[in-house]
Amino acid sequence: MRPTDYMRLAFRNIRRQKLRSSLTVFAVVIGATSVTIMLALVTGAKGFFLDQVEANGMLQQVAISAKTDISDFSDASHGYGGNCADCIKLTDAIVDKVKIVPHVTDVARITNDGMLEAITYGSKKLSLEQTTAYDANGILTNNVLAGRDIEAGDKDGVITMTSDYADKFGFKDKYDQLIGKEVRLQTRNFYTGVGADVQPPPQCNGPCKPQEQEQKPTILTAKIVGIVDTSNSSKTIRVPLEWMRGMQQFRQYQMTEADQKLQQESCRNAHGPCNPTQHYTLLVKDMLAENGYGSLIAKVDNSKNAAAAATEIRKLGVGAADAQESIKQQLTIFNILGLVLGGIGGIALAVAAIGVVNTMVMAILERTREIGVMRAVGAKRSAVRTLFTLEASMLGFIGGVIGVAAGFGLTRVANIFVNKQLASQNVHAHDIIGLPIWLILAVIGIATLIGMLAGLYPAARAAKLDPVEALRYE
Amino acid sequence: MNSLIELRNVTKTYHLGDETLKALDNVSFTVNPGEFIAITGPSGSGKSTLANIIGGLDHPDSGSVVVDGNELAHTRDNKLSNYRNHNIGFVFQSFNLQGTNTALENVMLPLVFSHMKNKERKIRAEECLKAVGLADRLMHKPSQLSGGQRQRVAIARALAVNPKIIIADEPTGNLDSARGGEIMKLLSGLNKQGITLLVITHDMNIARTAHRIVDIRDGKIMERRG
């Protein structure tokens, strides 16, 4: 018997019992539709998540920290890389080395600092925990709600803040009104960075040590240029990196060798007791250059090269992680969700399988004589078995095809609603419930397979029939 | 002349509950090529069992069955199916046509199992339907045909594979005597063309047209000349 004959015979037999076949197929359709929708939802959500990750460039990033034992992207990416004693500091020398690692296209330097204690607008004063700064080179981006983000040319005295600060200042839903406004930033004690009024130690008589002076908090002024979404970054204010460098500067009046000479010379011409005049020089130390940045984010040319670049960067003696690992964890959740929802849809398919078994058992009872005739004219047992198995598979296949089509239609409808929802939340995405080709083929394949499995037992029964008995069957 | 069918000491027992029924009891029997044999006997006497064993639908419990050089007694299903397909044409009392298929498709059915191409099957089936006088009924379904015509379709189906033997089990049982006579005429015509014909019947008028009558009583053969 030729394959085309099997197909033709099986199809003809299905058409013969139109009502019963349609009802059986309908049950498979319900199962296939529910599996399709469930999996389409999960795949859609997963795809949406991956698109978002891809869009914010995370997959093309490698987070670098001074600590080498990081495994997670987010551990390293927040600029808390830490100063451990034996670590290689993330200085500009390291940045230059990272920049020439293959596939790395650019590097963003991040540093966080707690030297700003409070922010005041008008009469309202809010405490600050973190001030963050990073290169405005497009690697790290923010969802700007009003105004603009920090840009590469920005100088001292410019900040953006996350929306929760703006909310607390009373500008909820009117962030625009805060743009261009001036705020005061209060530093902690001992702040010696830009803007600090650092004084030389007072003159002392006799042998005196230059005593430590308490440096009073400094008030810096800044203009708000933008409000950014809190959800993307922890609540913070951001300043241009170069201003941060200035803020971290350590300024102190110290007595240099030249100062000492001046001091000695101040009494050279004196007759009798002389109180030497103490000379001091204001020394400025670039602490950021000395301690290195909190962390670095390297951008690679293609997300596929992120892992390779991370490996290469680790050879510089620093820690590096790409985003794959943390994304993997989230993808696992999607996969579990897919199994659970797919399983729920699968129950309907399992019920449909029972329907197929029932239909096939009935068909065999009805067609017992026909099976007898087929056997009498030379059909082998295997031919009978194949024929009935194929019939059952076809029921599954037809149900699968219609089910996927119905599922496709329903996902289109669902997308209309989801699109509205997304548009109302300013998310630039649409038609997120996708039906990838693999899913279409998988659902049709599973439905066909279930039909086939359901047909195995009835088909075996048909094949086992004794031709003599079958021909005599009334 | 070498015999076409040779049964030696064939025994077949059926178990119906506690009862054992000896359908064939140590039967030996030969048929020469081209013979027309009527198998008669009361119902339950074992005539159908004899026909089924010769036709390769049933196995004997003991003894040997050789048809055209094929030993059938211990042959496996696959080989037996091929044997039926190539050598035997069955004609049944109740026609056993597939109601949803046309006459042509019914006749094509055995050819499906002999790996013939669809086009060739159609040609062959048309030939057979012509041979039984139904050239103008190819596309009719059994329900659109009379009893006699249906049996002709069944005979055409039996003819399709060019069998050496046609086994007809009460072929006129469901027909009136005029139609029955026509069918017997058709079958004996095929016999004259060289096909060995075994007709199971309890109609003595039909039996008498055979070359030989094999009468079975309680599983034993009482042979008579026709």
ipTM for the predicted complex: 0.93
For chain B, how long is the longest CA-to-CA vector? 52
Q: Residue A62: in which H helix or E strand, if any?
A: strand A61-65
* Alpha helices for A65-142 (secondary structure H): 73-77, 92-99
For residue A68, pLDDT beyond 90: no
**When comparing pLDDT for B123 and A55, which is higher?**
B123
Q: What CATH number is given for B5-225 in this structure? A: 3.40.50.300
**What are the residues whose beta carbons fall under 8 Å from the beta carbon of B144, sequence distance 6 or more?**
none
* B113 contacts A383? CB cut-off 8 A: yes
* A468 contacts B109? CB cut-off 8 A: no
Residue A195 — left, alpha, or beta (φ > 0 → left; ψ -120 to 50 → alpha)? left
Strand order through the sheet with B220-225 = B88-91, B165-169, B196-200, B36-40, B212-217, B220-225
Tokens of A298: 């390297």
Residue length, chain A? 474
pLDDT class of A421 with cuts at 50, 70, 90: confident
DSSP code of A172?
T
The whole-angstrom separation of Cα A125 and Cα A99 is 41
User: For residue range A308-358, what is the model confidence (pLDDT) as tens digits?
Assistant: 898 898 888 888 888 877 788 888 888 898 899 888 888 999 999 999 999
Q: Are A117 and A217 in contact (CB under 8 A)?
A: yes
Specify the amino acid at residue A455: G
Three-class DSSP category at B85 = helix
**Mean pLDDT value of segment A52-79:** 75
The whole-angstrom separation of Cα A53 and Cα A72 is 15
**Mean pLDDT value of segment B8-37:** 90
Residue A76: predicted pLDDT: 63
- Between A12, A372, A377, which is nearest B113 by CB? A377
Mean pLDDT of all residues belonging to chain A: 86
Residue B171: predicted pLDDT: 93
**What are the residues whose beta carbons fall under 8 Å from the beta carbon of A405, sequence distance 6 or more?**
none
> How many percent of chain A have pLDDT more than 90?
35
Domain boundaries, chain B: 5-225
The whole-angstrom separation of Cα A141 and Cα A247 is 23
- CB contacts, 8 Å: A375 with chain B: 57, 81, 84
> How many percent of chain B have pLDDT more than 90?
72
Residue B190: predicted pLDDT: 93
For residue B154, pLDDT beyond 60: yes
The whole-angstrom separation of Cα A316 and Cα B35 is 100
* A376 contacts B57? CB cut-off 8 A: yes
Residue A207: predicted pLDDT: 62
* A380 contacts B78? CB cut-off 8 A: yes
- Residue B172: closest CA among B92, B97, B103: B92
For residue A395, pLDDT beyond 80: yes
Residue A259: predicted pLDDT: 84
Q: Are A166 and A172 in contact (CB under 8 A)?
A: yes
**Mean pLDDT value of segment A259-284:** 80
The whole-angstrom separation of Cα B177 and Cα A237 is 109
Q: How many C-beta neighbours within 10 Å does residue A382 have?
A: 13
DSSP code of B136?
G
Q: Which residue of A has its CA nearest to B52?
A: A468
Specify the amino acid at residue B30: T
Q: How far is CA A316 from CA A100, A292, A458, in A?
A: 12, 15, 67
User: For residue range B26-40, what is the model confidence (pLDDT) as tens digits?
Assistant: 999 899 999 999 999
The whole-angstrom separation of Cα A349 and Cα A448 is 11
User: For residue range B175-201, what is the model confidence (pLDDT) as tens digits?
Assistant: 898 999 999 999 999 999 999 999 999
- Between B57, B78, B100, which is nearest A467 by CB? B57
Residue A393: predicted pLDDT: 95
Tokens of A467: 């031709």
The whole-angstrom separation of Cα B32 and Cα B47 is 18
Tokens of A377: 């004219």
pLDDT class of B151 with cuts at 50, 70, 90: very high
Residue A16 near chain B (CB below 8 Å): yes
**Mean pLDDT value of segment A363-380:** 93
pLDDT class of A441 with cuts at 50, 70, 90: very high
User: For residue range A201-235, what is the model confidence (pLDDT) as tens digits?
Assistant: 877 766 666 566 677 889 999 999 999 987 656 78
Q: Choose the mutation target among A377, A382, A472 for the interface with B, i.e. most B CBs under 10 Å.
A: A377
Residue A115: predicted pLDDT: 87
Q: How far is CA A218 from CA A128, A185, A300, B50, in A?
A: 15, 8, 40, 118
Q: Which of A10-24, A61-75, A139-153 has the lowest mean pLDDT?
A: A61-75
pLDDT class of B55 with cuts at 50, 70, 90: very high
The whole-angstrom separation of Cα B171 and Cα B186 is 11
Residue A232: predicted pLDDT: 57
